[in-house]
Amino acid sequence: MQTTAADTRHAVTVRVNDYLWRVTANDGFVFGHIERVPTPQGDRYEAKRYQLAASRFVARGRFWRFDDAVDCLRFG
């Protein structure tokens, strides 16, 4: 298995507001954003990556655990 740059980068999360985090690597590379989505069953965390061709963020998945959403961006 070949190791990619994303495999070796540690994710750094920066809280933007009560509902949004920016996820970056130590070198400044932006993995994407995580949005907290309140639901009747509890908070979910939606991983979003910026899609340059569409000039918008695209949802990559919704997770029960914040760390799972970070990993989705980091490894996805």
Share of the chain above pLDDT 70, in %: 88
Number of domains in the chain: 1
Mean pLDDT of the chain: 88
What CA–CA distance (Å, rounded) separates 1 from 16? 35
**pLDDT over 90 at 20, yes or no:** yes
- Domain of residue 57 covers 5-75
User: pLDDT grade, residue 8 (50/70/90)?
Assistant: low
Using CA atoms, how far residue 64 sits from 33, 37, 58, 69, in Å, is: 16, 10, 18, 8
Taking residues 37-44, what's their average pLDDT? 97
